[in-house]
C-alpha cells in the first residue's frame, strides 16, 4: 500500500491500523468511545491521526464504519466487543509466522486488482441474541491525497456458512 513514496506491506499496514484503532476506540474513556461510536454509526468519517512516514511525509488516517449488514440492534457495548475480538484475532494472525497474512482485493475478470482497496482476512465474530455478526477491517488509500481510510465493516456471515455447506455437499457426493 503506497503512502507518499513509501510502500507498506499489507501486514505492516494492518498492524498500524490495528494499533491506531486500539488507541482511539479501546484505550479511551467510555464517554469518548461512545461519542466516537455515535459519529461512526451516523455515517461520519473521523480523522484519527497523522502517520509520519520514514521519508518525513505524513499520511492522515481516517476511520469509517459500515454497519448496514449488522443483524440486530447495534449499540456501543456490542460494537466495542466486536472491535476487541477483531483486534485480538488480528493481533494473533499478525504474530503467526507460520501462516501468511491474508488480505483481499477486488479483481477484474483478468485477475488484476481494480483498486488499492484491501480487506484484511481476519474477522471478529460476536453473537447477539444467538445471531452471529462478523466485523472486518479494510483500508483504502486516496488516489489524490495523503489519506488512508480505515474501514470497519460488518458483513453477512451467512455467505461463509453457505460456502462451507456447499463444499461439504460437494465432497460427500
Q: Average pLDDT for residues 113-129, to the nearest whole number?
A: 84
Domain that holds residue 61: 2-172
Compute the average pLDDT of residues 80-99.
93
Percent of the chain with pLDDT over 70: 83
Q: What's the confidence (pLDDT) of residue 12?
A: 87
| Sequence-distant (≥ 6) Cβ neighbours of residue 102 within 8 angstroms | 120, 121, 122
pLDDT digits (tens, 9 = 90+) for 15-40: 999 999 999 999 999 999 999 999 99
The region of weakest confidence among 40-44, 100-104, 166-170 is: 166-170
The per-residue pLDDT for 3 is: 43
Q: What is the pLDDT of residue 56?
A: 82
Summarised one tens digit per residue, pLDDT across range 123-155 is 899 998 889 999 999 998 888 999 999 999 999
Given pLDDT bands bounded at 50, 70 and 90, which one contains residue 114?
Answer: low
- Cα dist from 74 to 51, 66, 170, whole Å: 30, 12, 36
Q: What is the pLDDT of residue 39?
A: 97
Is there a contact between 94 and 10 (Cβ–Cβ < 8 Å)? no
pTM: predicted TM-score of the whole model, two decimal places: 0.82
| Band of pLDDT at residue 160, cut at 50, 70 and 90 | low
How do the residues of the chain divide into helix, strand and coil, expressed in percent and rounded to 5?
Answer: 35, 30, 30
The answer to whether 112 and 153 have CB atoms below 8 angstroms apart is: no
CA dist list (Å): 1 to 61, 68, 148: 13, 27, 10
Give residue for cell 480487506. Answer: 119
Q: Per the structure, how many domains does the chain have?
A: 1
CA separation for the pair 114, 129 (Å, rounded): 38
Amino acid at each position: 500500500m503506497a503512502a507518499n513514496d513509501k510502500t507498506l506491506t499489507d501486514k505492516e499496514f494492518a498492524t498500524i491500523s490495528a494499533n491506531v484503532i486500539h488507541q482511539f476506540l479501546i484505550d479511551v474513556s467510555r464517554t469518548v468511545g461512545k461519542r466516537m461510536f455515535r459519529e461512526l454509526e451516523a455515517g461520519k468519517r473521523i480523522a484519527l491521526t497523522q502517520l509520519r512516514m520514514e521519508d518525513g511525509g505524513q499520511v492522515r488516517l481516517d476511520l469509517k464504519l459500515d454497519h448496514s449488514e449488522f443483524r440486530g440492534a447495534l449499540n456501543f457495548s456490542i460494537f466495542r466487543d466486536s472491535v476487541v475480538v477483531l483486534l485480538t484475532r488480528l493481533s494473533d494472525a499478525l504474530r503467526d509466522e507460520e501462516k501468511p497474512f491474508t488480505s483481499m482485493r477486488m479483481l477484474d475478470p483478468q485477475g488484476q486488482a481494480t483498486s488499492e482497496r484491501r480487506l484484511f482476512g481476519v474477522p471478529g465474530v460476536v453473537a447477539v441474541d444467538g445471531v452471529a455478526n462478523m466485523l472486518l477491517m479494510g483500508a483504502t488509500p486516496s488516489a489524490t491525497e495523503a489519506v488512508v481510510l480505515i474501514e470497519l465493516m460488518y458483513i453477512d456471515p451467512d455467505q461463509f456458512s453457505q460456502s462451507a455447506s456447499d463444499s461439504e455437499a460437494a465432497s460427500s457426493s
